[in-house]
Amino acid sequence: MRRRGAKGGAFFLLAGLPLLVAAAGLAAQADPGGPGPVPGDRVLVLAPHPDDETLGCGGIIQKAVALNLPVRVVFLTYGDDNEWSFLIYRKFFVYGSHAVEKMGLVRDGEARQAAAKLGLRADEVTFLGYPDHALQSIWYDHWSGQPPAVGPLSRAREVPYPDAYRPGAPYRGDDIVRDLRTILQDFKPTKVFLSHPADNHPDHRSLYVFTRVALWDVYGDAQGPPLFPYLVHFSGWPEHSGLHESWKLNPAPALRDGIRWVSEALDEREVKTKLEALRQHKSQHEAGAPFLDAFVRENELFGDFPDLTVGRESAGSEAAPVQVQGDRLLIAVEVPPSDVEKAHFSFGIFGYRCDVPFAQMPKLRIRFSARDHMVLDKGRELDNATIEVRKENARLVVALPLEALGHPQKILLGTRAPLSVRPVGYFSWRIIVLPQAGPGPGQGR
């Protein structure tokens, strides 16, 4: 989505919105290299639900196994909140905590059968057991000092499965980060495959940001393992449903620019085995074969937005979409002129510091329309007087004190596109690296 701007910059996709970028204002990360396993690699696959590992990385897993490399597949949930697929599979409604947990165990068994097809051992598969379809709620609202989240169907508040990684773990964000951090420290991956920050499913993009926090906790500013996000849910993608084993999987049109996509070719045997593994997820395949089979193609696709480094700008310079000006963070959103008076946006703005536990950092959501705006921190409404929202022709500018974000070193910025931006409701997370931050609000770890 690149085109020349009035000030010599370029328009490109930032968090799902076309924003004006000053030419020298943002700097991208280095190329992390290719996704294909090589001798010496340790491959970690993180999946929100059982079947995502096969859809996104079934070929990668086979290649790693063929090289006799250490591989670990970690599921964040048991996928126990999919009423539609359970209804088709079981021919009756699944309700009540006991029945929901039984369906979670069904998906556990399916995932282990799929893993065996891909060549994995049982001890190379781990389930964390956090609540399906509630990860975004945990990310926004449930951290230490607050009640745990509630499973949408199970009504549980902690991991109920005895064979999970940490049975009884509360449904809180700091517990998810703790588990991911421990897995990273113990397994020491050289490549990490995980769900995409622009995935339409909130569980998928939430896994991405939880993982980024865990990586920062473990590696700090040191170069950690390269990340290879895989996309599963995105409007109108893949372009054709059904089984097309000799076709190529191409990037979603709305995500072709702003992301460097890399493709890993699969041979005929790997494609065939991937399909066999996918069919082991019977409860899902029976309900959605045309969609799931569309991922069985001659390649697998990975790509991420680059991290963006923001410089300090002098007063009066507001061309860049994200910048630090004095003691304030400024975020500018380009809006079609016809939509300025009716656009509704939401921002997620989470600060990170290496010397303050992430659970203690502010986690702001800003919802605003043409008439008003609301600021929430971990679900609690705040006085919005410190947040300035103003219109400048076809731009909306949000200005907030860095103090309100805990004087962060990095920011996880999530935005939802207005209805005029296609695909409708497109949401994504981006990583913003700020200039040297001042003292944090808490004690060091």
294-324: b or e for each residue (b if 16 or more CB lie within 10 Å)?
bbbbbebbbbbbbebbbeebeeeebbbbbbb
* pLDDT attached to residue 315: 39
* pLDDT attached to residue 388: 84
345 in the same domain as 218: no
β-strand 125-130 against 388-392: which pairing, if any?
A: unpaired
Residue 56 predicted with pLDDT over 90: yes
- Confidence class for position 444, pLDDT limits 50, 70, 90: very low
347 in the same domain as 253: no
Alpha helices (H) in 133-230, listed in sequence order: 135-141, 173-187, 202-219
Residue 249 predicted with pLDDT over 50: yes
Give the residue with greater pLDDT, 441 vs 209.
Answer: 209
Domain stop point among 269, 304, 339: 304
β-strand 227-230 against 191-195: which pairing, if any?
A: parallel
Q: How far is CA 27 from CA 21, 30, 68, in A?
A: 11, 10, 37
- Confidence class for position 21, pLDDT limits 50, 70, 90: very low
Q: Which domain, by its residues, includes 75? A: 43-304
* pLDDT attached to residue 309: 86
255 in the same domain as 328: no
180 domain-assigned: yes
- Confidence class for position 111, pLDDT limits 50, 70, 90: very high
pTM, 2 dp:
0.88
Contact between 333 and 416 (Cβ < 8 Å): no
Cα 169 versus chain centre, distance: 22
Contact between 217 and 224 (Cβ < 8 Å): no
138 in the same domain as 262: yes
d(CA 199, CA 201): 5
425 in the same domain as 333: yes
| Mean per-residue pLDDT, 215-223 | 91
* pLDDT attached to residue 1: 27
Residue 65 predicted with pLDDT over 70: yes
- Confidence class for position 24, pLDDT limits 50, 70, 90: very low
173 in the same domain as 54: yes
311 in the same domain as 299: no
| Mean per-residue pLDDT, 20-40 | 58
266 domain-assigned: yes
- Confidence class for position 96, pLDDT limits 50, 70, 90: low
287 in the same domain as 223: yes
Domain stop point among 304, 326, 347: 304
34 domain-assigned: no
328 in the same domain as 253: no
Over the stretch 310-345, which tens digit does the pLDDT of each residue have? 876 543 344 568 888 889 999 887 766 666 565 567
Of 196, 286, 201, 205, the C-alpha closest to 235 is 201
287 domain-assigned: yes
d(CA 330, CA 389): 10
Give the residue with greater pLDDT, 187 vs 258.
Answer: 187
212 in the same domain as 69: yes
d(CA 348, CA 206): 12
1 domain-assigned: no
3 domain-assigned: no
199 in the same domain as 65: yes
Counting the structural domains of the chain, the total is: 2
Contact between 300 and 231 (Cβ < 8 Å): no
Sign of CA dihedral 153, 428, 365, 392: negative
Q: Give the helix/strand (H/E) hosting 364.
A: strand 363-368
* pLDDT attached to residue 379: 83
